[in-house]
Amino acid sequence: MAWGFVLIILTYFYSHYFLASNTVHVTAMYSAFLLASISIGIPGLYAALMLAFMSNLIGGITHFANTTAPIYYASQQVSLGRWWSIGLIVSIVNLLIWGGIGSVWCYILGML
């Protein structure tokens, strides 16, 4: 159950590399991944919140991830490769914080 949810979260998060915007990503995938999470036994509120947090955190992983990213990228202060590599590093840190500490906090609050 827990490893299944980790796989769901990772797939949801990193599939954003293949989609053009946060709006497209959430519209296309949020409800399907929420239902998949609930079907493997994850509490609905926890699954909904974790997917919502991930929907927000994907905003910085690529140069097209959110509305302001193309504007920053167009300034040509950061190369594409550097943007993506820093985005990958920050995404791993974010996932560890939100998945680790966030899950413990949800457990303390009684959501798990």
CA angle, 16 then 20 then 26, to 5°: 55
Across 10-39, average pLDDT: 90
45 pLDDT band, cuts 50/70/90, is: very high
Identify whether the C-beta of residue 88 lies closer than 8 Å to the C-beta of residue 61: yes
Rounded Cα gap, residues 17 and 39, in angstroms: 26
Across 5-17, average pLDDT: 92
pLDDT confidence of residue 1: 65
Residue 84 has pLDDT above 80, yes or no: yes
Across 5-21, average pLDDT: 89
Across 25-54, average pLDDT: 94
